[in-house]
């Protein structure tokens, strides 16, 4: 049966997520809004849980009205929630994944605007009202009670309640956990990149014919793994000067089954023989959570100067950097052609995704489908030519 879904994402990546959803087939009525893409799936299935640029995915379960800012709104909310018909959303959820008949569930509330009650009051109100609708024996696990009663493996289902103004939306999480949590990412350190952002970089920079891809600042290997999983035809090389982080990257890639070759190397020195690379996709150190070291300890200048020699006749660089670093300026000063600057909001800070062609290399156009969705995001006022 058809289902209405909400995919959530990092601010600024809405158009990339929309392109990924549309490219999977079976999705219609895509609509972009801040930090989310809503769509209808004709036949929802487990493949939806493989969306890589989404932070999370929910099935729409209903709307509530008349919930104002006063505490008197809580009984109203309970009555509205108790009147929802969850049979359809639960049936669609069973098409996506299995869960027990007698399930445990929790509620996560998001409240916009000043209210005379907090999220925990909304969650407990919703938990009491929704339990009878989720099947005989459904057990609500409250976050306000702490972690003492929390199931070791987490709950079977998470219900999201979004309240804005006097209305609200109820949704069921499609997966057993948020999509941004990768099962393979078991070893991490400071500054580790959010996996959906790494997946977005891989999607933007993908080479039409696979090609040779390198991440010279691989850290825990997030970008390298996402590239290898998204493009099995790519030859992925990842390097880092920090041996401990390189060990984490190897462990993560092994758990993911990602064919990545790792080497310990200084990014300020030549990484490969001249003319060997098609793409560099990387997250250089911002000197915030992680400081630069080796030949780039005083700045990335040596890296940018040496990098063009590594490319063949065609090449592309995709980089994420803190917006305050102004990375586009130095790149232009060294002859790089900047083809895309996209602002995103990452961990509370304004960051930038940059796509550039190195000096002497012929540019590779952005994928036409991505270009179309970016234009739709610009027309919707979600992003601008170089930011939001």
- What distance in Å separates the CA atoms of residue 37 and residue 179, rounded to the nearest whole number? 14
Distances (CA, A) of 150 to 6, 106, 334: 26, 10, 55
What pLDDT is stored for residue 365 in this prediction? Answer: 86
Query: Which range is least confidently modeled, 16-20, 56-60, 348-352?
Result: 348-352
pLDDT tens digits along 213-238: 999 999 999 999 999 999 988 999 99
Instruction: Choose from 141-145, 158-162, 185-189 the range with maximum mean pLDDT.
Output: 158-162
pLDDT tens digits along 324-370: 888 898 899 999 999 999 999 988 889 999 999 999 888 888 899 99
What pLDDT is stored for residue 292 in this prediction? Answer: 61
Tallying the residues shown for the chain, one arrives at 388
Q: Which tokens is 380 given?
A: 């919707």
Higher pLDDT, 185 or 151: 185
- What distance in Å separates the CA atoms of residue 221 and residue 193, rounded to the nearest whole number? 9
What pLDDT is stored for residue 326 in this prediction? Answer: 84
pLDDT tens digits along 105-149: 999 999 999 999 999 999 999 999 999 999 999 999 998 877 667
Contact present, 188 and 87 (Cβ < 8 Å): no
What pLDDT is stored for residue 67 in this prediction? Answer: 97
The vertex-375 CA angle with 373 and 378, nearest 5°, equals: 115
pLDDT for residue 68 is more than 70: yes
pLDDT for residue 318 is more than 70: yes
What pLDDT is stored for residue 293 in this prediction? Answer: 61
- Which domains, from first to last, does the chain contain? 3-173 (3.30.2130.30), 195-379 (3.40.50.150)
User: What is the average pLDDT score of the chain?
Assistant: 92
Detail the DSSP E strand segments found in 221-322. Answer: 235-240, 260-264, 277-282, 311-322
pLDDT for residue 289 is more than 60: no
What pLDDT is stored for residue 220 in this prediction? Answer: 95
What pLDDT is stored for residue 206 in this prediction? Answer: 81
- What distance in Å separates the CA atoms of residue 45 and residue 97, rounded to the nearest whole number? 8
Pairing of strands 56-64, 311-322: unpaired
- As to burial, measured by CB atoms within 10 angstroms (0-12 exposed, 13-18 middle, 19+ buried), residue 158 is buried
Contact present, 260 and 221 (Cβ < 8 Å): yes
Q: What is the pTM of this model?
A: 0.93
What pLDDT is stored for residue 355 in this prediction? Answer: 95
- What distance in Å separates the CA atoms of residue 95 and residue 58, rounded to the nearest whole number? 13
Q: How confident is the model at residue 86 (pLDDT cuts 50, 70, 90)?
A: very high
Contact present, 263 and 237 (Cβ < 8 Å): yes
Note every long-range contact of 298-303, with CB atoms under 8 Å and residues 24 or more positions apart, other chains counting.
300/330, 301/330, 302/268, 303/216, 303/267, 303/268
Instruction: Report, as an integer, the average pLDDT of 241-262.
Output: 96
What pLDDT is stored for residue 181 in this prediction? Answer: 96
What pLDDT is stored for residue 290 in this prediction? Answer: 54
Instruction: Report, as an integer, the average pLDDT of 89-95.
Output: 96
């Amino acid at each position: 049966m058809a289902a209405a879904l909400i995919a959530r994402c990092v601010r600024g990546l809405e158009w990339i997520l929309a392109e990924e959803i549309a490219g999977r087939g079976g999705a219609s009525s895509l609509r972009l809004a801040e930090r989310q893409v809503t769509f209808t799936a004709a036949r929802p299935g487990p493949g939806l849980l493989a969306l890589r640029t989404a932070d999370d995915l929910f099935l729409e379960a209903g709307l509530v009205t008349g919930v104002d800012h006063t505490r008197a709104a809580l009984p109203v909310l309970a009555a509205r929630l108790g009147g929802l018909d969850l049979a359809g959303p639960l049936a669609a959820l069973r098409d996506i994944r299995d869960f027990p008949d007698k399930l445990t569930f929790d509620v996560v509330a998001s409240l916009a605007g000043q209210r005379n009650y907090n999220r925990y009051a909304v969650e407990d109100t919703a938990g009491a009202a929704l339990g009878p609708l989720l099947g005989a024996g459904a057990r609500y696990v409250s976050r306000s009670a702490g972690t003492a009663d929390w199931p070791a493996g987490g709950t079977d289902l998470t219900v999201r309640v979004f309240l804005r103004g006097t209305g609200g939306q109820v949704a069921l999480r499609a997966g057993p956990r948020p999509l941004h949590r990768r099962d393979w990412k078991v070893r991490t350190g400071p500054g580790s990149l959010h996996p959906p952002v790494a997946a977005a970089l891989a999607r933007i920079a993908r080479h039409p014919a696979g090609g040779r891809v390198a991440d010279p600042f691989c850290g825990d290997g997030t970008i390298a793994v996402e590239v290898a999983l998204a493009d099995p035809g790519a030859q992925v090389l990842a390097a880092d000067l920090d041996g401990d982080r390189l060990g984490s990257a190897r462990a993560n890639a092994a758990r993911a089954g990602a064919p990545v070759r790792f080497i310990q190397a200084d990014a300020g020195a030549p990484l490969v023989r001249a003319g060997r690379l098609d793409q560099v996709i990387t997250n250089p150190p911002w000197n915030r959570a992680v400081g630069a070291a080796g030949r780039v300890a005083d700045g990335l200048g040596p890296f940018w100067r040496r990098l063009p020699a590594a490319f063949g006749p065609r090449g592309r660089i995709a980089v994420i950097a803190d917006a305050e670093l102004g990375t586009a300026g130095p790149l232009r000063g060294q002859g790089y052609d900047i083809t895309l600057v996209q602002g995103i909001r990452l961990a509370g800070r304004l960051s930038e995704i940059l796509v550039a062609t190195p000096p002497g290399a012929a540019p590779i156009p952005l994928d036409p489908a991505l270009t179309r969705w970016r234009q739709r995001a610009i027309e919707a006022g979600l992003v601008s030519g170089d930011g939001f």
